[in-house]
A and B are shown apart, each in its own frame.
Chain A
Amino acid sequence: MTAHFRIAIIGSGPAGLSAAAHAASLGLAHVLLEKTGHLSDTIYKYQKGKHVMATPAQLVLRAGGDTPFAAGKRETILGAWDARATELKINVRYNAEVTAIAGTGEAIPGSVQKIVTRKRDGSSATTELQRHAPPYRLTLADGGEILADTVILAIGTQGNPNRLACPGGDSAHVQYQLDDPGEYTDEHIFVIGGGDAGIENALGLAADPAQANVVTLVNRGAEFSTAKDANVKALLAARDAGRISIMTGTTPRLVEPGWIVLDTPDGEVRARADRIIARMGSAPPRGFVEACGIEFTSGDRLAYPKLSPVFETTAPGIFVVGALAGYPLIKHCMNQGHDVVEFINGNRDLKPADEPILEAKFAGLPGRRSVADWLERLRSRVSILGGMSPLQMREFMLDSEARFVPAGEIVFERNTPGSSLFGIVEGEVRVEVDPANPAITVPLAAGSIFGEVGLISGRRRGATIRAGSDCILVEISRGAALKLMSAVPAAGREVTRITTTRSLQQIFKSGLTPDDLAGIIATAKVETVRAGEALIREGEAGDDIFIIRSGSMVVEKLIAGKPVFLNYVPAGSYVGEMAVIDGGPRSATVRAAVKADVIRLEGAAFRALLDAKPELLARLRADMADRTRLNNFIEAKKDSFRGLVDMYTGVANFLVDQGVGEATDVLLIDEKLCVGCDNCEKACADSHDGLSRLDREAGRTYAHLHVPTSCRHCEHPHCMADCPPNAIHRGPTGEVYIDETCIGCGNCQRGCPYGVIRMDKVPPKKPWLLSWLLFGNGPGPGEPPKAWAYKHAKKGVETPKKAIKCDMCAGQSGGPACVRACPTGAAIRVSPEQFLTVALLERGAD
């Protein structure tokens, strides 16, 4: 007979384990199903000895069954959990992967879920799923079955590795993970998959020639397009040094014991393979979750399941907690594990553990309201928050701030960096649209939003905003705003509509009102342009005009048969105006420097606007005259100094290839001046806890212009995308920095395409410089050698490895230390607009 439980908990991570522990201590009939052979696989897979952090510090821990958790070594935490699970007699089943969950009761009327699956080619198919009432039948991978009245899904977000689909793919010598590359010797090993994981594994296996492994990396494509540049370079270097073989354009066809058969561009190849490591990415758990009848908030990649305030999904009796619910920190996970069991057990008044945090957020506001009241007030007043559930509001508020701003006070100033979005809960604010005359303002009423330009473009604030009356505002962090737009598609559309109108007003100024713009906004379309794709082609007809919302563009023109770089256009500008004004064909090609979002405005509608607004026409003509002058200047140069202009184009293209198009501030080294003294690196280390955030020699070089491995402070930092404690921010002077709440998970390091983040421990303090100069004490200026740091580390104190990156020396009066400390002037830190100008033309002259 199939076993029947009151609660089945799937996944034994911090969330699932805490839930099971609570169920056990309450004496509820439960089972904890874990896919692997141990508890908490995500944490189990952390690097050995990793220091696990317990953030946020203000949050009280309310773990089920008093499961212990405090910051400490991975091993200590896992050990304590194993012990607690045994003590509480948690009913765990290991190696029990749940593959399906289906209601066994009656069909629930009207409860049908539509599941949209997207294919690689862009097409999609929709299937419909009729939900059935509990109890649920859980099917296990080994064919076993379990019945449960309620199900707690706590499977995290790691998903399952994509499997080798070819015959023999499930052979014993195929594995999907590599814990310790040092473990294998004298083997013929094939690594399948040319992403970062595959490349890193292959390099690890081949790193020590003494291991004598014969390593081959197999990649389906001809190029390694998804891997980081630094990894690809290291791989190619390893191949050139004869340590690794690479097979591109190749897929596995068949796996036999001890052998692998591959389809290569030159036909079939059979090779000895003692071990096959498949690293072909992993499928997010979404497919499995949807198939259980659980709806997501939207089709967006960032979306989470739709949940009620008690974590219940759209399938009645199935609950989702932990990282899968959108809470990636261990403390949150454990608290939710406890809470969800309380809810299931009938306690509906339980206040969530984050209540004190939220209370503190609302404490400074006038009017004494409860947290729930405030959340509801925010939700019902601010238009874009309308579609959120109470639970979503709680999560949203953890990453946002509410504040009271008295009349007349400034909310933010023009030219401040900032990417948060503001909603007006009460009162009104005034936008100072004209920097020259603060008296000219445009009011914004309660319910609306502002700050969206910073959010979308990653650029500085375009106007000063001042409270027009006493106001209550909600400041939504960039992360929370992005989640919001993906969770509530209507909010996303609203933000787009508002940004379009406002960016038109801001770019074209000329006193345009939303009414003037209504006609043209109706024709506006937001389009995404891939990096390198041309938005406008020289010589073609067309008179649409484009506003660059995010990303940046380069303008180039064919001169004497060769494309010549003319200009760099950042987000917040427009292109394509010449054709509207002079009616001719496109005079230059405009290409995306990085993936960019543009707003396309129809030429005809725009011309109508120009006819109605002669000031606007005059303005455009003035801009156009500037651009034409630049073009003529370069064309003139081209005749006399052809080599110079080619060099200019080459350098500009090189910099754009190096990601300078999405940079706000980039370190460049003129290798005609660099004497290799590494004073820049030493200065970096000495002004930042003894760790250098820059690798001078590494990185690409073109025409003696070198882009070292150092943060570019991207407009939309990739590193920020997936930081569990939200520790990465943009600082007040535009720098992207990591604060002390970093938990050292390394997501940012993997996310940064330029490989500029390192994970390291802060070394002990060095003796004073003079005592080194006079008596030779300590290692001298710069980053201390590892051996020294190890020897002088405080015994018994564990220093965690954290993410370390450039903070642009914010707060230091002289600006970046690397630049200050360069004796020859080789190192400069500049923004692309500063550098990608005609001034570059002069560089080649000497």
Chain B
Amino acid sequence: MARAAISRAPVSRAVVRAPRDTAHEGFLTHRRGLWWKVALALSLVVSAAYALIDQSPRPNGGTALGYGLGTLGALLILWLSLLGLRKRIITRGAYSLKAWTSAHVWLGLSLIVVGTLHSGFQFGWNVHTLAWGLMMIVILTGLYGIIVYARLPEQLSANRQEVTQPQMLEAIRALDAHLDNAAQPLGPDDAALVRLSLEKTDIGGSLRQRLGGSYARDGNARALAAVRGEVERQRLAGKPDQRLAQILFLLERKEAALAQARRHIGLKSRLEIWLYIHVPATFALLAALAAHITSVFLYW
């Protein structure tokens, strides 16, 4: 409605288009690498302060610098956790998730320096070290995350060959329908092999299969091996059964289609599996952080 009002306004003024980011830059180098520069500077300043400022009796979280680093670290952690919300709340404002991710990654890495120096290298079996450990788990999984983000998209794109995931699954379903048809005239033993492919094939498979990419025990692979052996035997004995040869052809095509879909699913799993540690560990970290701060103020 509001729109109609604009277009029917008596004069048409050049409405300024909302400014937008048209730079073709990835998140690691967003704004010509602004955030890695900021994070690096932050780490250097913090390290210099640690080396230069006298902390007696010994460096730990209790000195003035320790309090400072602790506050900085806690605020950083809180802000880093907010990425999960920012990603999901689509507002009309002029934010850029790429900028957020860029800052997230680089400032998150600088936490290694901030958090560790805050501890003054005093580790033990207590809630404080637990918080530090959880923080390192989050950071290290994040580091793994950017490694896969940097390497896998190209493979994902190359494997897809302009086919979408629904199309991949559809192609497999269509081959199943053909297999079902082609199996009608077969004897019970051969038909059982086709059923093996139809009923015992799990496209995605277990998490282990997704990440490892090994599906040799899967229904279609077993059916294919058996039918291939059978056709080979018949060929040596003279003339192979044409109907079985057709089944072999379809099973081979299905295997190829499965391989593509599985590579796709595997790559997508690897692109997000780490988040299943990164995010829960974040929650654990927030809890440990709360415990750490409370205990510090209660018992110090």
Q: Is B a genuine binding partner of A? A: yes
Q: Is B271 an interface residue (CB 8 A)?
A: yes
Q: Is B24 an interface residue (CB 8 A)?
A: yes
Partner of A403, one of B10, B25, B94, B158: B10
* B contact residues around A704 at 8 Å (CB): 154, 157-158
* B contact residues around A809 at 8 Å (CB): 18
* B contact residues around A737 at 8 Å (CB): 3
A672 touching B157, Cβ below 8 Å: yes
Main secondary structure on chain B at its contact with chain A?
helix
Q: Is A515 an interface residue (CB 8 A)?
A: no
Partner of A674, one of B16, B90, B153, B163: B153
* A contact residues around B174 at 8 Å (CB): 209, 238, 241-243
A697 touching B175, Cβ below 8 Å: no
Q: Is B89 an interface residue (CB 8 A)?
A: yes
Count of A residues near B, CB < 8 Å? 78
A815 touching B94, Cβ below 8 Å: yes
**Given A686-B90, A812-B18, A819-B21, A676 and B156 touching (CB < 8 A)?**
yes
Q: Which of A55-63, A728-736, A751-759, A796-804 contacts B (4 or more CB under 8 A)?
A: A728-736
A824 touching B13, Cβ below 8 Å: no
Q: Is A679 an interface residue (CB 8 A)?
A: yes
Name which residue of chain B comes closest to A817, CB basis: B90
A824 touching B26, Cβ below 8 Å: yes
* B contact residues around A210 at 8 Å (CB): 177
Name which residue of chain A comes closest to B96, CB basis: A820
Q: Is A302 an interface residue (CB 8 A)?
A: no
**Given A241-B174, A672-B153, A704-B154, A731 and B97 touching (CB < 8 A)?**
no
Q: Is A326 an interface residue (CB 8 A)?
A: no
* B contact residues around A481 at 8 Å (CB): none
- Shortest CB distance A401–B (Å): 7
* A contact residues around B156 at 8 Å (CB): 671, 674-676
Partner of B12, one of A243, A413, A829: A413
Q: Is A383 an interface residue (CB 8 A)?
A: no
- Shortest CB distance B1–A (Å): 7
* Bound CA–CA A682/B87 (angstroms): 10
Name which residue of chain A comes closest to B10, CB basis: A403
A415 touching B20, Cβ below 8 Å: no
Q: Is B106 an interface residue (CB 8 A)?
A: no
A828 touching B6, Cβ below 8 Å: no
Name which residue of chain B comes closest to A685, CB basis: B90
Name which residue of chain A comes closest to B173, CB basis: A209
* A contact residues around B16 at 8 Å (CB): 733
B271 touching A671, Cβ below 8 Å: no
B20 touching A769, Cβ below 8 Å: no
B14 touching A415, Cβ below 8 Å: yes
* Bound CA–CA A707/B6 (angstroms): 31
A825 touching B171, Cβ below 8 Å: no
B3 touching A811, Cβ below 8 Å: yes
* Bound CA–CA A328/B152 (angstroms): 52
Could you tell me which residues of chain A, from 388 to 423, have a CB within 8 Å of some CB in chain B? 401, 403, 405, 409-416, 418
Q: Is A448 an interface residue (CB 8 A)?
A: no
* A contact residues around B92 at 8 Å (CB): 687, 812-814
Q: Is B126 an interface residue (CB 8 A)?
A: no
B88 touching A769, Cβ below 8 Å: yes
A687 touching B12, Cβ below 8 Å: no
Q: Is A108 an interface residue (CB 8 A)?
A: no
* A contact residues around B153 at 8 Å (CB): 671-676, 824, 826
* A contact residues around B13 at 8 Å (CB): 410, 412-413, 416
A418 touching B12, Cβ below 8 Å: yes
* B contact residues around A701 at 8 Å (CB): 157, 160, 162
A729 touching B7, Cβ below 8 Å: yes
Name which residue of chain A comes closest to B177, CB basis: A209
**Given A416-B12, A700-B162, A822-B98, A781 and B268 touching (CB < 8 A)?**
no
**Given A241-B171, A698-B164, A410 and B11 touching (CB < 8 A)?**
yes
* Bound CA–CA A815/B23 (angstroms): 14
Besides A701-B157, A828-B24, A830-B22, 8 other A-B contacts (C-beta < 8 A): A237-B163, A238-B174, A415-B14, A673-B26, A683-B90, A697-B164, A816-B20, A823-B101
Chain B interfacial positions (CB closer than 8 Å to A) = 1-4, 6-8, 10-27, 30, 85, 87-90, 92-98, 100-101, 149, 152-154, 156-158, 160, 162-165, 167, 170-171, 173-175, 177-178, 181, 268, 271-272
| A-B complex: 8 closest residue pairs judged by Cβ atoms | A815-B20, A209-B177, A671-B157, A814-B94, A697-B164, A241-B174, A732-B15, A686-B90
Chain A interfacial positions (CB closer than 8 Å to B) = 209-210, 212, 237-238, 240-243, 401, 403, 405, 409-416, 418, 670-677, 679, 682-683, 686-687, 695, 697-701, 704, 706, 729, 731-734, 737, 739-740, 769, 773, 780-781, 809-817, 819-826, 828-830, 834-835, 839, 843
Q: List 8 A-B contacts (CB under 8 A).
A: A241-B174, A411-B11, A671-B156, A674-B157, A675-B156, A676-B268, A733-B17, A824-B27
